[in-house]
A and B are shown apart, each in its own frame.
Chain A
């Protein structure tokens, strides 16, 4: 544990320089094209990365600010290339708070994408369905989220703020965080494109609210009931942090949850990680269609 928090602290101290080094390292690769869209691939959804043409793959291990992805079903590569004729960057594997990573580390890739010029971000995840209309394999186009994953870490947060304020770049970042938080984190226009793509593809997608938890435990039945009672449609352990930072940095965000299991609190059944991964694979073609429609919109 010590190593992880020391590591996170180090990142906090050197955020701006880590960002610059990562940016230089990516753009120095021969064949690098600045991406217009970023795609974060959730559990079991990384197959889409294989469809990227002329891929330039950079292991997280070769970039400062990135941590090795420890969750199974997550690869740990940044993939640059072209998808549907749009220059993209995809994250196969992401960092989570339950792995012990600080908020800064979890959101570092998003900051890198923004620094590389990415203006649209598609964030996907595998999530548990709370809304009883949902079935396994359905897509929820995220309309808003509730972040229940704010880990108590007061000391680190204060240190982060003070060290960040040391650099001009970070001051600007903080001004935006503290000053003008966007009203809508998720882009309404992109949501409509996603819903239309689902209709055209003849599969179910609904607008909904994503609840982010700290994890790594799945929810108890009582917790499912609680989350449903205050407005959650799906629940997962990622996305909220990344989206908040992306929106603050001015990106247009599309959030997609693939329902990998459904919570039936009055008829308990267990949740198994393998089941989540399998459902993800089965729903990949749906995700692919929505991504295609979104990218088409970017060129059109």
Chain B
């Protein structure tokens, strides 16, 4: 029943065979944002199917490999391709990589995603730094008997995204002349996009953007004690009274266009970890 601990260790050892540095930052690349890997001086590339207990990434425009190396001289691991609840994987398996990063020694987790904008002041192609989250997935990766070796039974969630890093990230964006918003991310299970009524509902309950990832990873990061930075790229605006049909190719195109901004911000975050204490 408490087999998660051993699975983490299996995966850690498999990665260790390819790469022996201690990563400082772990990065998860969302839909259309995989190009960020270009900023890494790659030292090892590991296909997910070579890592025990990792699922296979099935989502559009998600590869399926772990890239290890240096970014601005800082050791990082990056997931090129992530897992989603709508692919049918249990949340415990989706979030396993986060626990593996922790066990490899990572201190900061940078999660990126492509999402829909609900806040009417946002525009398609904008970047939002996640300040807080709402879990509407209808599941939680921590359900089941708690393994106290991995984290507390009842994790506190009053600051899932480290406020100091939120401020630093906003400042990095400002210095790069990139407009970055700050707001609330709501996660739904998907895979269908929302109805107009659902968009109105999500806006009413206080969300600024909506997506199908990130929240489970953040919950597990909080559970195991990793600091989290969340970056959303708004790939389509979901304004219920002026709604256009969503188009996945278009979403990926916008994500690709916004990617240079995201890359610049992530580079800035990683560079900053070289000079400040993460925790």
Contacts and interface: CB of A to CB of B under 8 A. Distances in A.
B140 A98 contact: yes
A288 interface: no
Interface string B137-168: 01110111110000011111111100000000
B255 to A, nearest CB: 24
A169 interface: no
Contact of B145 (A99, A150, A269): A99
B155 A218 contact: yes
A216 interface: yes
A229 B158 contact: no
A152 B139 contact: yes
Contact of B143 (A71, A72, A100, A272): A100
B138 A230 contact: no
Interface of B: 1, 90, 92, 132-135, 138-140, 142-146, 152-160, 184, 186, 189, 204-207, 219, 222-223
Interface stretch (A13-21, A178-186, A219-227): A219-227
Contacts of A217: 135, 140, 142, 154-155, 157, 219, 222-223
Interface string A206-246: 00000000111111111101100110000000000000000
Nearest to B156: A270
Given A220-B132, A222-B134, A223-B134, A151 B139 contact: yes
Interface in A1-38: 1-4
Contact of A220 (B90, B133, B142, B144): B133
Given A151-B139, A152-B189, A222 B133 contact: yes
A140 to B, nearest CB: 20
B158 A216 contact: no
B1 A1 contact: yes
A204 interface: no
A70 B140 contact: no
A271 interface: yes
Contacts of B139: 151-152, 214
Given A70-B145, A97-B143, A220 B154 contact: no
Given A218-B155, A269-B158, A99 B132 contact: no
A268 interface: yes
A272 B156 contact: yes
Interface centre among A2, A3, A217 (most CB of B within 10 A): A217
Interface centre among A98, A219, A225 (most CB of B within 10 A): A98
Interface residues of A, number: 34
Contacts, number: 102
- Please give me the 10 A-B residue pairs with the lowest Cβ-Cβ distance, nearest first: A100-B144, A226-B205, A222-B132, A270-B156, A268-B158, A222-B184, A220-B157, A152-B138, A273-B154, A222-B134
A273 B146 CA distance: 14
Interface SS of chain B: helix, strand, loop or mixed? Answer: loop
Contacts of B145: 4, 70, 99-100
A221 B158 contact: yes
Contact of A151 (B138, B153, B206): B138
A271 B153 CA distance: 12
A269 B156 CA distance: 9
A2 B2 CA distance: 10
Contact of A215 (B154, B189, B206): B154
Given A214-B139, A219-B157, A222-B134, 8 more contacts: A71-B153, A98-B143, A214-B143, A216-B143, A216-B146, A217-B140, A218-B157, A270-B159
Given A152-B189, A229-B204, A216 B142 contact: yes
B206 A99 contact: no
Contacts of B142: 98, 215-217
Interface in A56-87: 70-72
B140 A1 contact: no
Contacts of B92: 1
A222 B267 CA distance: 28
Contacts of A71: 153
